[in-house]
Amino acid sequence: MIKLIRLSGSKVVVLILDCLFIYVSYLLAYNLKFQGNVPQEQWQSFFHYAPWLGLFTAITYYFFNLYDFAGRQKPTKWLFNLIVAHVVFVVELIVLNYWVRTFSLPRSVVVIAFLIQLVLTFSLRLLLFFVQIRGFGKKRVLLVVNAEPSSIHTLRKVITGGQIWFRIQRVFIVGSGERELNSSFWEEVDVLMFGPDIPDQVKTELIQAAGQRNIEVLLIPDFYELYLMKAEMQQIDDLMVYSMMPPELTIWERFAKRCIDLVISSLLLLIASPIMLLMWVIIPMTSQGKALFMQERVGLHGQEFRVFKFRSMVDNAEQHTGPVLAGAGDARITRFGQFIRATRLDELPQLINVLRGEMSLVGPRPERAYFVEQFKLELPHYTYRLMVKPGLTGLAQVMANYTTTPSDKLRYDMMYIKNYSPILDLKILVQTIGVVLRRDQSKGLETPEASAPMDVAQYLQDAELEIAAVGD
């Protein structure tokens, strides 16, 4: 509770500073534009739209997760989100100008203020980042993984992606049995981190030991643990029980979601229609075949439907291979197809699927029946993502990458279903703008050689990491 209060307090302070920065930015921009002699009519114009500046800043930053300081994010991601958020902010201000028409908005002032605001807001977040890194130092981690080759994926992510915040002190490999860690293994450890698929008994014992030592615990949740989110507490006589319903939306949530889908998809189709007409012409010109591509996908409750896409591969790409996921540098993807896949323009026809009620704007991405059956065998909880309509975009698409494993994507999908709200949908839609601009999130799957399994202990030796203990 204390940490939550501190975190909420820091958000409020940063929000206030952001609002202060926007006013400082525009005041400086006016003075630079008019060399300190701002005409009276310009001041009057500024006072007309000044109340909107703080409101637009707070709302836009919120939708781009710029007040989410709990997640350990790199400065480059902060900078990217700030740039996109500032562009959206300027668009909002221009729309307000055309709508209200009671003030003038000099373009040079907007550009200068944009640059000043970007420098100030990024500097603030950079300061918070260095306070976290330099002030508290890297957290020393005791990492708990199992002996399966799939644990190498977790190790690689922590070693490469978390090296700014973490230094792996020791690794505990859980085998067929469990062995309690002695006190010496806990020395110089700040964080206990669990990989996936760790036995409950091991988790319970180690979390209890970490709690006694006031050590932070990080874990990749098992799917049943995601069910506990927002579980309803009930009582049978004097017994406290948790009621866990399957992850699905209520009738009112489905109604609100459908209304949002109809309104926004209609507007997007109207706006995107010139681009879509251009795709109809360019795609057949650049490669043989039709512009529109239709494919069977699995939707709500396992019902199949035909999804519409602009063709990005050669015609009849799977004629000789059968169903195959696109890989990095896939030779089947045309040159123009690489562009429309990277910019997600190939997904625009799916707005028609949204209008038809087969898809939603936001939800788990629809998969083909062939891959769904494979995922069901590997992930018994996979069918729960079929409890909602598939989406044009989703939490997994804005938080993860194309190459993220199906199990990790499923965690994001289930998190989305359990936390659904219209505001969450709007946040995901806004953040999809950033996904479209970040091409690294749309790269294909690695080749099998690049992700081939190996022995966990051998991987740790190659990475020069200390193995604390191995389960008996």
Pairwise CA distance, residues 283 & 274, whole Å: 14
- Res. 468 pLDDT band, cuts 50 70 90: low
Confidence grade of residue 100 (pLDDT, cut at 50, 70, 90): confident
Q: Which segments of 268-364 are extended strands (E)? A: 292-298, 304-310, 360-362
**CA-CA distance, 233 to 240, in Å (whole number)?**
7
Longest dimension (CA), the chain: 80
- pLDDT band at residue 163 under the 50/70/90 scheme: confident
Percent of the chain with pLDDT over 70: 82
* pLDDT at 101 (0 to 100): 73
In the chain, % of residues over pLDDT 90: 23
Q: What is the pLDDT of residue 171?
A: 82
The whole-number average pLDDT for the span 423-442 is 80
- Tokens, residue 70: 């709990």
Q: Per-residue pLDDT averaged across 17-36, rounded?
A: 90
Q: State both tokens at 311.
A: 């063709």
The 3-state DSSP composition of the chain as helix, strand, coil percent (nearest 5) reads 55, 15, 30
**Tokens for 430?**
């806004």
Q: How far, in Å, are 18, 56, 92, 187 from residue 27 at the CA level?
A: 14, 17, 19, 53
Coil, strand, or helix at residue 362?
strand
What phi, psi does 176 have (nearest 5°)?
A: -70, -25
Per-residue model confidence (pLDDT) at position 202: 82
Q: For residues 420 and 253, is the Cβ–Cβ distance under 8 A?
A: yes
Q: Where are the beta strands (DSSP E) in 224-372?
A: 232-236, 239-243, 292-298, 304-310, 360-362
Least confident range from 81-95, 240-254, 353-367, 450-464: namely 450-464
Instruction: Tell me how far the alpha carbon of residue 387 is from its chain's centroid.
Output: 21
The pLDDT assigned to 465 comes to 60
Distance CA 388, CA 248 (A): 6
When pLDDT is averaged across residues 230-244 and rounded to a whole number, the result is 78
Strands 239-243 and 232-236: antiparallel
Answer yes or no: pTM beyond 0.85.
no
* pLDDT tens by residue, 347-372: 999 999 999 999 999 999 998 888 88
Secondary structure string (H, E, C) spanning 155-188: HHHHHHHCCCCEEEEEEEEECCCCCCCCHHHHCC
Q: What span, in angstroms and rounded, lies between the C-alpha atoms of 289 and 337?
A: 13
> Is residue 387 a contact partner of residue 357, using CB atoms and an 8 Å limit?
no
The per-residue pLDDT for 387 is 85
pLDDT band at 23 (very low <50, low <70, confident <90, very high): very high
Report how far residue 338's alpha carbon sits from residue 260's, in angstroms, rounded to the nearest whole number.
31
pLDDT tens for 63-78 read 988 887 766 677 888 8
Average pLDDT on 314-323 reads 64
Question: pLDDT tens digit string along 4-13?
Answer: 334 456 788 8
pLDDT digits (tens, 9 = 90+) for 274-289: 999 999 999 988 888 8
CA quadruple 286, 291, 297, 301: dihedral sign? positive
d(CA 246, CA 229): 11
- How confident is the model at residue 467, as a pLDDT? 58
- In the beta sheet, which residues pair with residue 144? 172, 194
Q: Which helix (H) or strand (E) holds 452?
A: none
What is the chain's length? 472
3-state helix/strand/coil string of 48-77 = HHHHHHHHHHHHHHHHCCCCCCCCCCCHHH
Q: How many other β-carbons are positioned within 10 Å of the β-carbon of residue 182? A: 9
Q: Domains of the chain (ranges plus CATH)?
A: 2-135 (no CATH), 138-220+453-470 (3.40.50.10700), 251-437 (no CATH)
